[in-house]
Structure 1
Amino acid sequence: MKRTKSIIISLFAATMILNACNNDESGKKEAEEKTVGALVITGDTVTEQGGCVLASRFSPGDKIVFRNNVLDGITSEQVADAKVQVHLSTGEKLDMTYGKHGDDNFWVVAYPVTEDTPTGTLGYTVTAEYNDQKGEFKPFNVAPSLLTIVSDEVAQVPKEEPVSAEADLSTVETNQHVEIIGKNFDFHGPNGEKTFYVKASEEVTLSLKSEEGMHGVNVEGLNVNLDKDGSVKFTPEKSGEFNIVCSVFCGAGHGDMTAKLVVVQ
């Protein structure tokens, strides 16, 4: 009887130890699963023409440059060893490479636009994989964020717009020093103005100061670009209205960051 009781106690103890081991292994697996997070992908597209300027419209002879960051979902650190690809709506897949570009490190691949590239919207997604982590990036489904392929004829149409009729341009006060302040998500001058008047054929100094967020400036149609805070000088030769847009993707309100430069005789 004592021997039987001893055997039962031994079996019970072994069962408890086995369950404890199983629970320990289960706990380890749960802990491991909790440390695996999705990869976070951010990015934009730029054109090679005139420097790396944020763009969504491309024509034959240009290259669409995809730029992306891939971050660990747990640590928020860059993942330099991930497999990153751009998936185009044409069915093509582009392998991205990681390296230093300017002052930053990120993933890049260039897609040449040729005469044979169909015009219209070019859809794309970016995927990344690293060990058990995965992530996907899709552009916002709004016009400024969608890639559009245009023909040479459309691309060559000047981006100059008709001169605004809201002000008497013969008497308007001009200032060849244009100060732009960038905030999420707005461009304005020191006094809140969003339209800047300058004289044609005279040098203009345009400056940018970002008080909130990271921004850049592109004056469409004049080849005037700033990819960070600073200043640039240029001389506009013709009158007209020119859109000022943010050239650095800065978030969901990126497309709202606009102002106008009006060049008068």
Structure 2
Amino acid sequence: MKIALIGYGKMGKAIEAIAVAKGHEIVHRVDLNSQHLLEKEELSKADVAIEFTGPETAYNNILKCFAANVPVVCGSTGWLEQLPAVKSICLEQHRAFLYASNFSVGVNIFFEINKRLAELMANQPQYEVKMEEIHHTQKRDAPSGTAITLAEQLMEKVRRKQEWVNDEASKPEQLSIISKRIDPAPGTHSITYTSAIDDITITHTAHSREGFASGAVIAAEWLKGKTGIFSMKDVLSL
């Protein structure tokens, strides 16, 4: 499989190492300082593009991939207000798009655990709930995309929480997400339900970027040759 890597920072290089070890070829590399080099002619050489840049560039990068008729696996966070537009364009143009706030197999299993626990706690108002996420200091968005996904899953079940705030909650209907930036943490996410009697906490801790990078390559392998809008739930049959 021929891969275009859009975003050649630490994550991009981790993806490259795993992809090459699996026998894939990197045919195009674009880092944050050379976005102008993301041209249709170069992109069209790839079977799939993996996009890991940031909120300022993700949207335009995805549209350039669509223009080149290249399936896109996107892991950029902080740009999701533009996601509906991307999905609409993808369907109109019969392209392929897969977005995940986190590509780790373990995290995607953790998402399912979070949804099930939230379902069980929905009718237990004696429990207050809050979240915490810890990442390295180079992560630019807060809360993380993974934390936002977890929060949205939780609020869908626990209806007494109507919005998340990236701070200590000041209102009963708010879900508190505390974001910490500590090196060299690659990513920890915890959800805690607290009552006067006991606490229930679920936590996922990443030990390195390898889990994210490996999952992105698995997603790219799965997406090749498809059209439509997908997620890691589709890839992992969750």
TM-score, normalising length: structure 1: 0.24
Report which structure shows greater RCO (CA 8 Å, sep ≥6).
Answer: 2
Whichever structure has more strand as a proportion of its residues is 1
Q: Which has the higher helix share?
A: 2
How high is the TM-score relative to the length of structure 2? 0.26
